[in-house]
Amino acid sequence: MSVNGNYLHRLDPDDLSIIAERELPVSRSHNGLLALADGSLITKDLRLEGQGGTTITRLDPDTLDLVAAPLVLPEGSMGRIASDLTDQGEFVYVPGTEHLYRLLVDADRLVIDDWSPQYRSAGGDHGLAWDSCISGGSSWVMDCGDITSVRMIHNTEPNGRWDEAPGRALSWRQPAPWNGPQRLIQADCVSGVTQSIAPFGTPGGGIIAPPVHVPEYGMTIAWDSVNGGLAGVTTSGNELDVAWTVPDVRPSMQPVVFPESGELVINDFTDAGNDDIIVVDIGTGELLDRVSTGSRIANGMFLSPGPGRSIFYCSTLTVARVTWS
User: What number of other Cβ atoms are within 10 A of residue 126's Cβ?
Assistant: 24
pLDDT band at 324 (very low <50, low <70, confident <90, very high): confident
Query: pLDDT value at position 238?
Result: 85
Query: pLDDT value at position 237?
Result: 81
Per residue in 254-266, pLDDT tens?
A: 999 999 999 999 9
| Rounded Cα gap, residues 103 and 70, in angstroms | 13
Options 3.20.20.450, 1.20.120.1200, 2.40.340.10, 2.130.10.10; CATH for 1-116 is 2.130.10.10
Task: Using the predicted structure, report yes or no on whether residue 170 has a pLDDT greater than 90.
Answer: no
Q: What is the percent of the chain where pLDDT is above 90?
A: 84
Most confident segment among 71-85, 144-158, 292-306 = 71-85
DSSP per-residue codes, 77-121: --SPPEEEEETTEEEEEEE-SSBEEEEEEETTEEEE-S---B---
Task: Using the predicted structure, report yes or no on whether residue 227 has a pLDDT greater than 90.
Answer: yes
Mean pLDDT estimate for the chain = 94
pLDDT band at 48 (very low <50, low <70, confident <90, very high): very high
Phi, psi for 138 (deg, rounded to 5): -140, 160
Q: Are strands 310-314 and 304-305 parallel, antiparallel or unpaired?
A: antiparallel
Give the mean model confidence (pLDDT) for residues 19-30.
Answer: 95
Q: What 3-state DSSP class applies to 58?
A: strand
How is the chain split into domains, by residue range?
Answer: 1-116
Give the mean model confidence (pLDDT) for residues 284-292.
Answer: 96
Query: pLDDT value at position 224?
Result: 97
Query: pLDDT value at position 165?
Result: 79
Task: Using the predicted structure, report yes or no on whether residue 300 has a pLDDT greater than 90.
Answer: no
- CA angle 191-55-154, nearest 5°? 105
pLDDT band at 159 (very low <50, low <70, confident <90, very high): confident
Give the mean model confidence (pLDDT) for residues 92-106.
Answer: 97
